[in-house]
């Protein structure tokens, strides 16, 4: 397609999505849940064909030189398919939030005023190679009564086309418009530029991918973007603190998995417990090959137990860094005030935890730390839509506007005012 | 100031607002309420000086040729000052929503997860001539724990400077940073361009003024904008309907005041009641000099009671029009389905009302009309923050993102996740 054709094509997708969204917005819960269960069944029935399509993507990617974790992320195995099918079925069992009316109160004029939860309309999703995101996004769109336009990574185009065809089949078989979930069928980059600049048809854009992708999209978008930038998460070990618990949590927050955005990248330790705590966590990290980039005081303490190759002085840049790797920055701070000041200055406002026995410190940390998730005595790795009971997650927002933190179905809805009168007029 | 100086000046205001917002975010409710009551007292004590400053604005505006309603809007009378002072005192008596934690539930992992309401940070407000908006915005900023940067109309600069000085005095006397509310002291237009493009310092922009102003700001903004575009509101008279009530409401919705955005601009009437209803409302409108622009069927019925000079055929453009004047478009529709389809096509998604006795029609209208306020048997003129019990209103959003409809204190806040654990880790 040339640029003009792509513009036309995207406008067509947009108009179709908008038209479909009027239908999905008023679809009964039973119809949406039927579509989700039908989709789950189709995914299982068509697993061999889906894996063949995925195999073509994998071969093309390998031929073009893709290797290692990037190639792994593209793979759609039997287990991945079962996971997304189960996810659809779980969504089907969740209560429907669309149409829910809350806060209905009588006002002095006699009118009663409340708010009704309604779908936001049409969302555009732009994501990188993992093809299972196609089903996650489609199923959230169905459950929330929205329409969506999906733009996956070019490496996964065959897998995504095969998955999207099943989604449209499930929609049609359940009496919903197939256009409620549309995949952008071209891998041309121009299509993204169009998708993010159609305020007439698209209400919000949700990008999932690296910080570069999200910054590019935010800069060019003409509609709101639910942004998930980086996750420079902190774990702060307070004084007083149960150090055994602190070792367990600081270990988990860093090492349970290195790549997620909610892994801790920085460890802050109150001066009063640093001498006891740092050697204990230092031994644990060192045993797992985690490199520690430390302030002078932490460096002095850690040097007694950590081999030199895993211990380095931290630079100013280290305090800003999201490593997504077996590296952690370590700083000794005077106490909770200094920890909060450090976090609010260096953090990416994703997720921060205080480990403490002090009730006042816990309350202050929860109130004053300006991040999308603030935790007491728990691993930052819990910052996740499933762990928070949202049932599903379309992304994590590091913005404050509209949705903050893990975004589930409610993040894809808005509230309209409902007014019930009996003939009242304004005087 | 030249452009470079203005950029520097605005960056300074931004940095100061951001620094102040960290203090206001954690200010106790008692301190914020003290600032509001102090402000009310200062407004009353300084009424003569405020009116002198306002007099200078009025004289300059009159000399430059401003007349009529535009000059009236600029006037800050004793009654206007008492109204805003009372508004501050009312806000002080309202419950504080900042720090409120809701939805705390235990998850399968053992962690408890809820959400805490926190200020959004810094908002920028851009408004036209009415100087009382300076106090409305400042008082909402104080109550909600936000900092704000206010850019009023150039005609009102003397009044706004005098008002803003009192706000800063009230803040300082209550132990809050004076920079929490700053007025842009230059009337240079470049300042607006800077204000809407400082994502580092400003979290959201709220413009109040004509559609042109809001479209210009939305197009240039690098941060989210709470948009209030036009209010093409509809009143639909259903079949069956209590016609006496319908006459009273349709009259009030159009004629109680012509200029507000929530006045009805279009009257839809079900065919089954048109023959009875239209002559009755036609007489009422005609007596008040309201011009009716009607579809052929409505024209035929109205011609029997409405003088020719007040009756015209409606053009296609009329169905889109926000008149803000003694003019209304009138259309006969087949029934509730046609009314909903017409509204969703032509409306600006602000406020629409159905007048009906039919429960199913009422429910359908509430569900399917895609507007920020949907009403049954009430005047569209009720779409207002005070009437909805929000305590105050910073604007009305015709967007679906973040805030929709009248925006009060909650629209200036966001929710962060709070996680309480007892040592849980992710497995």
Give pLDDT, residue A1.
66
User: CA angle, corner B417, sides to B414 and B418, nearest 5?
Assistant: 125
Count interface pairs A-B at CB distance under 8 A. Answer: 208
Quickly count helices (H) and strands (E) in chain A: 14, 16
CA distance linking residue A302 with residue A299, whole number of Å? 5
- 341-380 of B, contacting A, C-beta below 8 A: 344, 353, 366-368, 370-379
Q: Do B368 and A26 touch (CB under 8 A)?
A: yes
Give pLDDT, residue B223.
87
Q: What is the pLDDT of residues A247-296, one digit of tens each?
A: 999 999 999 999 899 999 999 999 999 999 999 999 999 999 999 999 99
Q: Do B224 and A417 touch (CB under 8 A)?
A: no
Q: What is the pLDDT of residues A60-87, one digit of tens each?
A: 999 999 888 888 889 999 999 999 999 9
CA distance linking residue B117 with residue B105, whole number of Å? 16
User: CA angle, corner A340, sides to A336 and A342, nearest 5?
Assistant: 115
Give pLDDT, residue A223.
87
Q: Do B203 and A248 touch (CB under 8 A)?
A: no
- Which single residue is written with the structure tokens 């730390």? A369
Give pLDDT, residue A400.
87
Strands B311-313 and B291-294: parallel
Q: Which of B370, B425, B427 to mutate to test the interface with A (most CBs of A within 10 A)?
A: B425
Question: Considering only CB atoms, which chain A residues are within 8 Å of B421?
Answer: 375-379, 382
Chain A residue with minimum CA distance to B375? A419
- Which single residue is written with the structure tokens 């159609």? A198
Question: Which ranges of A121-210 does DSSP label H, i.e. alpha helix?
Answer: 132-144, 157-173, 190-195
What number of other Cβ atoms are within 10 A of residue B176's Cβ? Answer: 24
Q: Residue A404: which of B26, B379, B414 has the nearest Cβ? A: B414
DSSP state, residue A225: B
Tokens standing for A155? Answer: 């490496």
How far is the CA of A170 from the CAs of A22, A138, B371, in angstroms?
18, 11, 30
CA distance linking residue B157 with residue B56, whole number of Å? 10
Tokens standing for B372? Answer: 């920020």
Cα-Cα-Cα-Cα dihedral sign, residues A24, A27, A33, A38: negative
Q: What is the pLDDT of residues A168-216, one digit of tens each?
A: 999 999 999 999 999 999 999 999 999 999 999 999 999 988 888 888 9
3-state helix, strand, coil in chain B (%, to 5): 50, 20, 30
| Residue B67: exposure state from Cβ atoms within 10 A (0-12, 13-18, ≥19) | exposed
**What is the H or E stretch that residue B335 is in?**
none
Query: What's the half-sphere exposure (Cβ side, CA atoms, 13 Å) at B220?
Result: 16
CA distance linking residue A403 with residue B415, whole number of Å? 8
Query: Distance from first CA to last CA of chain B, Å, rounded?
Result: 60
Nearest to B58 by CA among B70, B47, B74, B42: B74
What number of other Cβ atoms are within 10 A of residue B346's Cβ? Answer: 19
- Which single residue is written with the structure tokens 């390998």? A62
Q: What is the pLDDT of residues A359-404, one digit of tens each?
A: 999 999 999 999 999 999 999 999 999 899 887 888 889 888 889 9
pLDDT at A2 over 80: no
> Measured between CA atoms, how close is B425 to chain A, in angstroms?
5
Q: Which residues contact A52 (CB under 8 A, 6 or more apart)?
A: none
CA distance linking residue A77 with residue B299, whole number of Å? 67
Tokens standing for B360? Answer: 């199913």
Question: Considering only CB atoms, which chain A residues are within 8 Å of B120?
Answer: 400-401
**What is the H or E stretch that residue B80 is in?**
helix B78-93
- 204-243 of B, contacting A, C-beta below 8 A: 204, 224, 242
Q: What is the pLDDT of residues A127-175, one digit of tens each?
A: 987 899 999 999 999 999 999 999 999 999 999 999 999 999 999 999 9
Chain B residue with minimum CA distance to A104? B388
- 47-106 of A, contacting B, C-beta below 8 A: 99, 105
Q: Do B375 and A420 touch (CB under 8 A)?
A: yes
pLDDT at A12 over 80: yes
Question: Which ranges of B288-333 does DSSP label H, i.e. alpha helix?
Answer: 296-302
Determine phi and psi for B188, rounding to 5 degrees.
-65, 135
Nearest to B382 by CA among A105, A417, A142: A417
Q: Residue A203: which of B252, B401, B423 has the nearest Cβ? A: B401
pLDDT at A218 over 90: no
- Supply the pTM of this predicted model: 0.91
CA distance linking residue A168 with residue A148, whole number of Å? 12
Give pLDDT, residue A81.
95
Determine phi and psi for A33, rounding to 5 degrees.
-70, -35
Q: Determine the average pLDDT of the residues in A102-113.
A: 96
What average pLDDT does chain A have?
A: 95
pLDDT in tens for each of the 427 residues of chain B? 676 799 999 999 999 999 999 999 999 999 999 999 999 999 999 999 999 999 999 999 999 998 888 888 899 999 999 999 999 999 999 999 999 999 999 999 999 999 999 999 999 999 987 899 999 999 999 999 999 999 999 999 999 999 999 999 999 999 999 999 999 999 999 999 999 999 999 999 999 888 888 889 988 888 889 988 789 999 999 999 999 999 999 999 999 999 899 999 999 999 999 999 999 999 999 999 999 999 999 999 999 999 999 999 999 999 999 999 999 999 999 999 999 999 999 999 999 999 999 999 999 999 999 999 999 999 999 999 989 988 788 888 988 888 999 999 999 999 999 999 999 999 9
Q: Crossing angle of helices A157-173/A47-63, nearest 10°? A: 160
């Amino acid at each position: 397609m040339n640029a003009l054709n792509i513009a036309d094509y995207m406008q067509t997708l947009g108009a179709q999505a908008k038209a479909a969204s009027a239908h999905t917005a008023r679809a009964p819960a039973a119809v949406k849940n039927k579509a989700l269960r039908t989709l789950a069944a189709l995914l299982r029935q068509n697993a061999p064909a889906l894996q063949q399509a995925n195999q073509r993507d994998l071969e093309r990617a390998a031929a073009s030189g893709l290797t290692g974790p990037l190639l792994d992320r593209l793979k759609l195995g039997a287990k991945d398919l079962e996971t997304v099918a189960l996810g659809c079925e779980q969504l089907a069992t969740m209560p429907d939030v669309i149409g829910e009316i809350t806060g209905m109160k009588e006002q002095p004029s006699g009118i009663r005023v409340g708010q009704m939860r309604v779908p936001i309309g049409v969302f555009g999703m732009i994501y990188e190679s993992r093809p299972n995101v196609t089903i996650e996004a489609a199923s959230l769109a169905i459950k929330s009564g929205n329409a969506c336009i999906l733009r996956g990574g070019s490496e996964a185009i065959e897998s995504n086309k095969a998955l999207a065809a099943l989604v449209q089949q499930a929609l049609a078989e359940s009496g919903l418009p197939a256009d409620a979930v549309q995949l952008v069928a071209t891998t041309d980059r121009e299509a993204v530029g169009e998708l993010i600049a159609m305020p007439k048809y698209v209400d919000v854009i949700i990008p999932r991918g690296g910080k570069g992708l999200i910054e590019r999209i935010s800069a060019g978008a003409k509609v709101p973007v639910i942004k998930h930038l980086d996750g420079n998460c902190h774990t702060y070990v307070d004084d007083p603190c149960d150090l055994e618990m602190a070792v367990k949590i600081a270990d988990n927050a860093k090492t349970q998995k290195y790549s997620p955005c909610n892994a801790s990248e920085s460890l802050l330790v109150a001066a009063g417990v640093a001498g006891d705590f740092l050697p204990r966590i230092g031994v644990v990290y060192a045993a797992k090959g985690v490199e520690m980039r430390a302030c002078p005081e932490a460096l002095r303490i850690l040097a007694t137990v950590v081999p030199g190759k895993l211990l380095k002085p931290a630079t100013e840049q280290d305090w800003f860094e999201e490593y997504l790797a077996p590296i952690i920055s370590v700083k000794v701070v005077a106490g909770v005030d200094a920890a909060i000041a450090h976090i609010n200055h260096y953090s990416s406002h994703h997720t921060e935890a205080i480990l403490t026995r002090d009730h006042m410190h816990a309350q202050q940390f929860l109130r004053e730390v300006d991040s999308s998730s603030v935790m007491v005595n728990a691993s930052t790795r819990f910052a996740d839509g499933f762990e928070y009971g949202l049932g599903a997650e379309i992304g994590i927002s590091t913005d404050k506007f509209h949705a903050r933190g893990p975004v589930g179905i409610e993040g894809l809805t808005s509230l309209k005012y409902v007014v019930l009168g009996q003939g009242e007029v304004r005087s």
